């Protein structure tokens, strides 16, 4: 209660000061705008870099639908690594398919692709591919991060190592 009151009074004082000093207000707004613009440019640059890396890996520039399918395939491979898919993993995969509004035939097709490719790649390579596909749109949303954490944990990659892999793939 008291902390909230203090913060509100501090914000009120800052707003009153800025509105009474037009030059300082203009400089503040300019600095804020420059900071936001810089963040936007940096995010755009990272997104372009990840998409370029993905294009190199795949040999072409993938569509959004293809990226979603590739993410599902890699996720399916990672959760099936130990030979069994638990009820919670199946629930996660079901949520994924509902989120993308795929019909049963599509899910069966993607699951078959995942099985065929499973023996060709290592667990870490699958995780790296999944991270790349997740980063392709420039950000990893909460559902994707939860899936990444689960898949990484399944193959023994814990939080800090996963975050290092994500940062490395953003930079490479």
Cα dihedral across residues 139, 145, 147, 151: positive or negative: positive
Place 29 in a pLDDT band, splitting at 50, 70 and 90: very high
Place 50 in a pLDDT band, splitting at 50, 70 and 90: confident
Model-wide pTM > 0.85: no
Q: Cα-flanking dihedrals φ and ψ of residue 83, to 5°?
A: 90, -5
Tell me how far apart the alpha carbons of residues 87 and 161 are, in angstroms, rounded to a whole number.
Answer: 26
Tell me how far apart the alpha carbons of residues 15 and 8 are, in angstroms, rounded to a whole number.
Answer: 11
Q: What pLDDT is recorded for position 120? A: 63
* Residues 6 or more apart in contact with residue 50 via CB below 8 angstroms: 132, 135, 136, 138, 169, 170
Tokens standing for 103? Answer: 């019909």
Domain ranges of the chain: 2-42, 62-171
Average the pLDDT over 150-155 and give the result. Answer: 85
């Amino acid at each position: 209660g008291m902390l909230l009151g203090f913060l509100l009074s501090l914000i009120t004082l800052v707003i009153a000061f800025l509105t009474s000093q037009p030059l300082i207000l203009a400089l503040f707004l300019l600095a804020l705008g420059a900071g936001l613009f810089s963040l936007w440019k940096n995010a755009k640059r990272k997104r372009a870099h990840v998409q370029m890396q993905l294009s190199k890996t795949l040999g072409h520039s993938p569509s959004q639908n293809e990226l979603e399918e590739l993410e599902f395939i890699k996720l399916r491979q990672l959760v099936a690594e130990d030979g069994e898919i638990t009820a919670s993993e199946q629930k996660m995969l079901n949520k994924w398919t509902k989120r993308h509004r795929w019909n049963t035939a599509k899910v069966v097709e993607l699951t078959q692709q995942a099985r065929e490719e499973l023996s060709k790649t290592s667990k870490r390579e699958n995780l790296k591919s999944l991270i790349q596909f997740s980063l392709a749109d420039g950000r990893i949303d909460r559902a994707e991060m939860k899936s990444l954490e689960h898949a990484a944990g399944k193959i023994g990659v814990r939080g800090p190592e996963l975050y290092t892999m994500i940062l490395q793939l953003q930079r490479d």
